[in-house]
Structure 1
Amino acid sequence: MNRVSCAAKLAFKKVTHVIFDLDGLLLDTESLYTKAAQSVVSKYGKTYTYEIKQKVLGFTGVDAAQEVVKLLNLPITWKEYYNLVRAEYPSIMTDAELMPGAERLVKHFHSKQIPMAVATSSGQDTYDLKVAKHAALFSMFSHVVTGGSDPEVKRGKPNPDIFLVCASRFKDCPKPELCLVFEDAPNGVQAALGAGMQVVMVPDEQTDESLCKMATLRLHSLEEVKPELFGLPPLK
């Protein structure tokens, strides 16, 4: 999956800034989201399958709630579902652990003074819960855009809004093509490409292969990242 041909290497463009997605990429939260969703839908005799989860990966909470209620034909409104799921978060989201390779990569870019930011579909309150035990690491990012609550992010992923807003908030406001995005979800990859950025995808192993083809580069883990492919300082 992570093989890179000589031709592909030549196709990569040099970048100066890095933007990370959060859930399933830096933090292992996807199982926690699944746990919260299943806790709610099971009350109505439904199952939150991976097929459904894959369709809403990267969505804001509101967009995901609307889609899940529709797909599962739940006998409640999307607002009711949204509130029920969010009520589960305080007791589980603080358990979020870092994904393999995340800490090493973030610390590397920080030590080399590569500008970094986070672009997550989460709202600010949920983001705060998830990163609480990793405060030191997340303080290394220049800024965070929480698409679920940021008024400047008009549309959620797969629309490019969140990445364009994120790029505009770097101090030197780089052009989109100078930003490299790290994503795990197809909706996020589509959003990054739509913003005119290259994107390294680290998909869940259950993600359909056909949904991974559009990424600039696919890897099994952040442990496999070779920053030098994009003109960034190599890992030691």
Structure 2
Amino acid sequence: MIYLPVSHVLFDMDGLLLNTEDLYTVGFQKVASRYGKKFTFELKSRIMGQQTREFAGNIIKYLDLPLTIEDFVSETRQIFEELFPQSEILPGVKKLIYHLNQHNIPMGLATSSSKESYELKTLKHQDLFDLFSHKTLGSSDPDVKRGKPHPDIFIVAANKFLDKPDLEKCLVFEDSINGVKAARAAGMQVVMVPDPRLDRSHATEATLILDSMEEFKPELFGLPPYEF
């Protein structure tokens, strides 16, 4: 694989920067268990990266739950109000973001989360998230018409950079297949850091796949290398 130099970086959040995908699993299983159903990793991998109402509808459909989208969102919101403030930063994340910030590399957040859930998830981590020049919250941003795997969120996020970079100059970090497809559809390179349970044969569009953010070498994409 040939890696092209980039000037700007966009990050997904859930399961990439924070361990919130694990918290989503706990919350969704709580609801599913009431109806004798199991929220499987296969289903999880299908909905990762989708906007709130979209993933709610898909979970209801696949598990055949007797709930409306509004019911499901309302029930899970109460659960997540308790879970999301427990979010923790994943390995290698602080090192990379502080490094890029130190070298004045423009960074943006591109997450399908809503404004409300974003605030709960980042409650303990404001210092880190303040380093992003802007945040695009897909489930709350009216400019993001479609969720991942559509490219909308990354195009909107890239256009928020003050210097309006060419899309191919943006490097995306993602953990989901839907996110990888969205980034590639936007014409961007994408580094994937997936859940270890994910079948990587479904992630052929990723520019680079890593086991952990700790393995990333910025110089591969023309970014300043770590100084050891």
Same-fold call, TM > 0.5? Answer: yes
User: 1:76: Cα distance to partner?
Assistant: 1.3
For 1:69, give the aligned amino acid.
I
Q: Does structure 1 residue 54 correspond to structure 2 residue 45?
A: yes
User: 1:143: Cα distance to partner?
Assistant: 0.4
Q: Equivalents in 1 of 2:191, 2:107: separation in Å?
A: 15
Q: Does structure 1 residue 139 correspond to structure 2 residue 130?
A: yes
Aligned to 1:44, the other structure's residue is in SS state coil
Matched with 2:171 is: 180
Q: Aligned residue pairs: how many?
A: 227
Q: Does structure 1 residue 154 correspond to structure 2 residue 145?
A: yes
For 1:82-141, what per-residue CA distance to the aligned partner results, in whole angstroms no more than 9, with x for missing partners? 211111111010000001000000000000000001100000110011011010011010
Q: Does structure 1 residue 73 correspond to structure 2 residue 64?
A: yes
Aligned to 1:235, the other structure's residue is in SS state coil
CA RMSD of superposed structures (Å): 0.7
Matched with 2:215 is: 224
Matched with 2:87 is: 96
Aligned to 1:166, the other structure's residue is in SS state helix
For 1:126, give the aligned amino acid.
S
Matched with 1:193 is: 184
Out of 190-199 and 85-94, give the one that drifted further: 85-94
User: 1:75: Cα distance to partner?
Assistant: 1.1
Q: Equivalents in 2 of 1:147, 1:52: separation in Å?
A: 21
User: 1:14: Cα distance to partner?
Assistant: 0.7
Contact 1:203 1:212 in 2 (8 A): no
For 1:22-69, what per-residue CA distance to the aligned partner results, in whole angstroms no more than 9, with x for missing partners? 000000111100111111111111111111111101111111000000
Contact 1:200 1:218 in 2 (8 A): yes
**Structure 1 residue runs without a partner (length 5+):** 1-7
Matched with 1:23 is: 14
Q: Equivalents in 2 of 1:217, 1:149: separation in Å?
A: 29
Which 4+ stretches in 1 moved above 2 angstroms?
none
User: 1:77: Cα distance to partner?
Assistant: 1.4
For 1:149-202, what per-residue CA distance to the aligned partner results, in whole angstroms no more than 9, with x for missing partners? 000000000000000000000010111100000000000000000000000000
